[in-house]
Every structure is written in structure tokens, then in C-alpha cells.
């Protein structure tokens, strides 16, 4: 497993704990604003994981395609990114 994967897994474990905490908050009928603040924190944490996975993809998968010299592989990785960014904007 790559070192960055361990970091992502650790972050996801913390997020998992936060989600369980929010479930308890809802069960305990906690103040809505407090729940919303925790939900916002989870979204931010997921965003950090997402950014790290994208960086890893660029550092490894895309870099490998570039260094391979295969134009087909480079185009494939480029199309994957375009499709991904298209999903972000819709």
C-alpha cells in the first residue's frame, strides 16, 4: 500500500467516526445548527481526501502514462480527467 493511501484511510476512519457522532447527535435531538456544523466538517474532510486521491492520481497514474511514451495511454488518462472534471461542474 502506498504511504498516501494510509493517510487517506486514516482520514476516512476519522470521518466514519464523525458520521457515527452525527447519528448520535440526531438521536439525542441535538441543536440543528450543531449538527449542520458537524456535517460541514465532514464535507471539508471528504474534500481533503478527494484532493489527495486526485494528487496521487496525477503523481502516479498520469505520470506513468506520460513516461510510458504511449500516446494512446496519455490520451486515455487525459480523457478520464476531462470526464471527471465534467462531473464536478454539473
The angle formed by the CA atoms of residues 82, 85 and 90, to the nearest 5 degrees, is: 125
Query: Long-range contacts for 66-74 (Cβ within 8 Å, ≥24 apart)?
Result: none
pLDDT tens string 15-42: 999 999 999 999 999 999 999 999 999 9
- pTM metric for this prediction: 0.76
Per-residue pLDDT at 26: 98
d(CA 2, CA 43): 24
User: Looking at domain 3-89, does it have CATH number 1.10.3720.10?
Assistant: no
Indicate the domain borders of the chain: 3-89
d(CA 6, CA 9): 5
pLDDT tens string 38-85: 999 999 999 999 999 988 888 888 888 888 888 888 888 888 888 888
Amino acid at each position: 500500500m502506498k504511504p498516501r493511501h494510509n493517510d487517506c484511510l486514516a482520514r476516512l476512519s476519522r470521518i466514519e467516526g464523525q458520521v457515527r457522532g452525527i447519528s448520535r447527535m440526531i438521536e439525542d435531538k441535538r441543536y440543528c445548527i450543531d449538527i449542520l456544523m458537524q456535517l460541514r466538517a465532514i464535507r471539508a474532510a471528504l474534500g481533503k481526501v478527494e484532493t489527495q486521491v486526485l494528487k496521487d492520481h496525477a503523481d502516479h497514474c498520469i505520470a506513468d502514462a506520460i513516461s510510458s511514451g504511449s500516446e494512446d495511454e496519455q490520451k486515455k488518462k487525459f480523457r478520464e480527467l476531462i470526464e471527471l472534471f465534467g462531473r464536478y461542474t454539473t
